[in-house]
Every structure is written in structure tokens, then in C-alpha cells.
């Protein structure tokens, strides 16, 4: 433990910067600039270098999103079961079908899942849609529709539901497009690599 700490300090930015500054002090000593106070000059330069060195940054934690996707697929299955029990107007039902088809495609195991695991923000977007946005939109519609039957309003609840589902559909399509474009860039990069390699051979 102590050995690893000592090795970490030796490799730290503070020690490396301080050592480089102290080296300047030694050069000054050999050229006669530091004079008889050279130990203080070397130590002072080392300390100054260590102080101005940028602090060490701990490595950013790498979270495994594979298990997250597995749980999300199970939650999506629960969501689709719930949606089959809700009576929705035709327009909203059609938009909801389009939305769930896109989500199902994004959650399908395979290369899409591999692309998703590289993008935690995309996983978060899917999670929010499945666990929060869609259930909230549908449940709010069901509750509001019940009150509307008792007291009709000029702003039908199904109109809000359609708008909400359209926003979520557009968001899911944007996500799918971003993943597709990332794969296209990857393909183009590989093409350039092969062409450059062929030119240099």
C-alpha cells in the first residue's frame, strides 16, 4: 500500500513539475548563479513547481449500461402490457403504435444495443420515455377524460395526448437518427483508413 502510494507520487504531476523546476535550480548552481544558497534555491524551485502543477484528476467512472438495457427491456414489456389495457382514441393509438415500434427497435438486442451502450445519454432518454413520459401521458389522459365526461371542456384531452405522443415519437426518431449517423461515420472512417493504408503500401 505504501509502495503504491510512493509510486503514485513519483508519477504525479506535482512531483514531475517540481522535479523539472528543481533541475533548473541545479543548472543555475552549476553555472554559478545560485551561489552558496543553492540547496535553498533547488528546494524552493521544487516547491514552487509542485504548487503550480495542475491537480491530479481521478479517472471518470465507466458505468456498464448493458445491465441497464436488460432492465429497461423488462420495463418496456411491462409498459406495453399496460398500454394494451387502455382504451385510446384512434389517432392517439396510431401514434402510440408508431412510438412503441421505434422504441422496440432501439431496444432490440444486437448491434443497436451495442451502439446504445456507448451512449449513456441515449439510454437515459429511452429510460425516461418508457418509465416516465409515456405512462404519465397515458394516465393523465385517462384521468382527465373521466372528468371531461362529467364536465365537458373546449380542449379535448385526446388532443393533448396526441401532441405529447408526437413529441415523444419525434424524440425517439431523433435518437434513432443519431445512432444511425454515428454508425455511418464509423463506416466512413473505416473506409478512409483502408484507402489510406492501401495508398501507403
Residue count of the chain, please give it.
201
Q: Give domain status of residue 141, yes or no.
A: yes
pLDDT over threshold 60, residue 109: yes
**56: buried, middle or exposed (CB in 10 Å: 19+, 13-18, 0-12)?**
exposed
User: Lowest-pLDDT range, 72-76, 119-123, 132-136, 149-153?
Assistant: 149-153
Q: Please tell me the predicted confidence (pLDDT) of residue 5.
A: 59
C-alpha cell at 23: 533541475
pLDDT over threshold 90, residue 83: yes
46 plus 71 within the same structural domain: no
pLDDT over threshold 60, residue 149: yes
pLDDT over threshold 60, residue 168: yes
75 plus 137 within the same structural domain: yes
Q: Please check whether residue 19 is in contact with residue 49, taking contact to mean a CB–CB distance below 8 angstroms.
A: yes
C-alpha cell at 77: 414489456
Q: Which of 52, 77, 92 is the last residue of a domain?
A: 52
pTM listed for this prediction: 0.63
Q: Give domain status of residue 6, yes or no.
A: yes
> Helix, strand, coil shares of the chain as percentages rounded to 5?
80, 0, 20
pLDDT over threshold 90, residue 4: no
Rounded CA-CA distance 87/70 in Å is 29
Q: Please tell me the predicted confidence (pLDDT) of residue 166.
A: 95
Average pLDDT over residues 177-201: 83
Q: Please tell me the predicted confidence (pLDDT) of residue 145.
A: 81
Residue 104, domain extent: 66-200
Average pLDDT over residues 139-167: 83
Q: Give domain status of residue 57, yes or no.
A: no
29 plus 71 within the same structural domain: no
Characterize 163-201 residue by residue with b for buried, 16 or more Cβ atoms within 10 angstroms of its Cβ, and e for exposed. Answer: ebbeebbebbeebbeebeeeeeeeeeeeeeeeeeeeeee
Q: Please tell me the predicted confidence (pLDDT) of residue 70.
A: 87
72 plus 41 within the same structural domain: no
21 plus 70 within the same structural domain: no
Q: Give the residue ranges of DSSP H helices in 53-156.
A: 66-84, 90-107, 111-117, 120-128, 134-150
Q: How many separate domains does the chain show?
A: 2
Amino acid at each position: 500500500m505504501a509502495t503504491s502510494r510512493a509510486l503514485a507520487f513519483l508519477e504525479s504531476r506535482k512531483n514531475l513539475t517540481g522535479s523539472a523546476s528543481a533541475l533548473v535550480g541545479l543548472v543555475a548552481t552549476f553555472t554559478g548563479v545560485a551561489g552558496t544558497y543553492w540547496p535553498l534555491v533547488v528546494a524552493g524551485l521544487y516547491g514552487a513547481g509542485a504548487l503550480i502543477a495542475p491537480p491530479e484528476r481521478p479517472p471518470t467512472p465507466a458505468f456498464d449500461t448493458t445491465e441497464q438495457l436488460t432492465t429497461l427491456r423488462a420495463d418496456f414489456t411491462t409498459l406495453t402490457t399496460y398500454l394494451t389495457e387502455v382504451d385510446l382514441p384512434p389517432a392517439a393509438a396510431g401514434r402510440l403504435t408508431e412510438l412503441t415500434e421505434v422504441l422496440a427497435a432501439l431496444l432490440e438486442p444486437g448491434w443497436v444495443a451495442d451502439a446504445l451502450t456507448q451512449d449513456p445519454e441515449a439510454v437515459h432518454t429511452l429510460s425516461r420515455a418508457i418509465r416516465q413520459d409515456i405512462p404519465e401521458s397515458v394516465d393523465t389522459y385517462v384521468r382527465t377524460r373521466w372528468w371531461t365526461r362529467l364536465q365537458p371542456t373546449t380542449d379535448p384531452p385526446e388532443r393533448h395526448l396526441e401532441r405529447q405522443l408526437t413529441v415523444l415519437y419525434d424524440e425517439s426518431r431523433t435518437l434513432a437518427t443519431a445512432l444511425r449517423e454515428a454508425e455511418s461515420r464509423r463506416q466512413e472512417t473505416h473506409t478512409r483508413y483502408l484507402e489510406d493504408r492501401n495508398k501507403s503500401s
